[in-house]
């Protein structure tokens, strides 16, 4: 089974957004996240992500989530940017003192802040990158939703196919005839077993009677042998003559 695991800093160097994710976890003093990508028999790639929290004050919980994707690289890129978004939201107060506080990610009504080339010059490269990344993540989230909808559609399609198969099994005359023939065969086999058992019982009974007759015959033969010598002895009258 083909699989990959990202759990070292160098593993994220060639992944889109990976270096920025490493900068975030380093700044927040968090362990390096672990991403496992495994190809399934269905052809889809299953991606499991575990973003470890802090064990010391201030303690934070781990973040675990998974998804399915058609492409391995796309799956890794997606969960890396998803991890950035989750970490940025969870630690937004701490990050605000660094470089997110001045620029912010969105306007109050939720619209993206799009910087002009002149505005970009007034900010540090990391601030500009972060803002462009936010825009990219929002678009990526729409792609994720689209893929989820596609997965849901696939599930519904599979359910429909299973339902069709079930209906065919219920209403197809050939399948019904095969089932009836199977039941008849099972009934005939059971009747045959009963008849065979009857014959076995009769055979045992006959064998018992035969043994009994043989024993009686041997007993009668012994009794006859005892009687015959007595019949051959001469009487007193015969001795006198």
Interval 75-93: pLDDT, tens? 888 889 888 888 888 887 7
Q: Measured between alpha carbons, how far is 91 from 84 in angstroms, rounded to an integer?
A: 10
Q: Measured between alpha carbons, how far is 68 from 77 in angstroms, rounded to an integer?
A: 13
Q: What percent of the chain has pLDDT over 70?
A: 78
Using the 8-state DSSP alphabet, how is residue 234 labeled? P
Res 192: pLDDT: 80
Angle, helices 18-27/72-90, rounded to nearest 10 degrees: 30
**Residue 105, pLDDT above cutoff 50:** no
Note the Cα 105 to chain centre separation in Å: 40
Question: CA distances (Å), 240 to each of 79, 97, 229, in order?
Answer: 134, 153, 21
The length of the chain in residues reads 241
Q: Measured between alpha carbons, how far is 4 from 76 in angstroms, rounded to an integer?
A: 10
Q: Measured between alpha carbons, how far is 127 from 104 in angstroms, rounded to an integer?
A: 10
Q: Higher-confidence residue: 40 or 153?
A: 40
Pull the structure tokens for residue 49: 């992500």
Which range, 43-57, 112-126, 164-178, is most confident?
A: 43-57
SS3 49: strand
| Per-domain residue ranges of the chain | 3-168, 173-229
Where do we find the tokens 């973003």?
A: 51
Res 12: pLDDT: 92
Helix (H) and strand (E) counts for the chain? 7, 4
Strands (E), 40-120: 45-51, 63-69
Res 48: pLDDT: 92
Res 102: pLDDT: 45
Which of the residue ranges 99-103, 133-137, 173-177 would you say has the lowest mean pLDDT? 99-103
Q: What is the pLDDT of residues 208-228, one digit of tens each?
A: 777 778 777 777 777 777 776
Q: Which of 77, 56, 62, 68 is nearest to 6 (CA)?
A: 77
In what order do the strands lie in the sheet containing 45-51? 3-6, 34-39, 45-51, 63-69
Please state, rounded to an integer, the average pLDDT across all residues of the chain. 77
pTM of the entire structure?
0.43
Q: Measured between alpha carbons, how far is 9 from 146 in angstroms, rounded to an integer?
A: 30
Which of the residue ranges 109-113, 188-192, 194-198, 211-215 would you say has the lowest mean pLDDT? 109-113
Q: Which of 1, 80, 73 is nearest to 35 (CA)?
A: 80
Q: How confident is the model at residue 144 (pLDDT cuts 50, 70, 90)?
A: confident
């Amino acid at each position: 089974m083909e699989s990959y695991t990202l759990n070292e800093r160098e593993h994220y160097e060639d992944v889109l957004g990976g270096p920025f994710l490493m900068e975030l976890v380093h700044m927040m003093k968090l362990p390096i996240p672990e991403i496992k990508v495994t190809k399934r028999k269905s052809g889809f790639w299953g991606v499991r992500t575990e973003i470890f929290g802090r064990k010391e004050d201030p303690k934070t919980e781990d973040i675990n989530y998974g998804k399915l994707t058609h492409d391995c690289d796309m799956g890794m890129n997606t969960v890396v940017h998803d991890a950035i978004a989750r970490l940025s939201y969870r630690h937004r107060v701490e990050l605000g003192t660094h470089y997110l506080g001045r620029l912010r990610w969105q306007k109050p009504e939720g619209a993206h802040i799009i910087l002009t080339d002149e505005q970009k010059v007034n900010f540090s490269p990391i601030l500009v990158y972060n803002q462009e990344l936010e825009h990219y993540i929002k678009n990526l989230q729409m792609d994720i939703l689209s893929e989820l909808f596609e997965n849901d559609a696939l599930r519904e399609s599979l359910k429909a196919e299973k339902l069709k198969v079930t209906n065919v099994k219920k209403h197809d005359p050939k399948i019904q005839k095969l089932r009836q023939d199977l039941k008849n065969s099972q009934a005939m086999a059971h009747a045959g077993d009963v008849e065979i058992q009857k014959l076995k019982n009769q055979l045992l009974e006959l064998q018992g009677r035969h043994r009994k007759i043989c024993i009686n015959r041997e007993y009668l033969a012994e009794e006859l042998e005892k009687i015959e010598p007595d019949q051959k002895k001469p009487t007193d009258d015969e001795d006198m003559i």
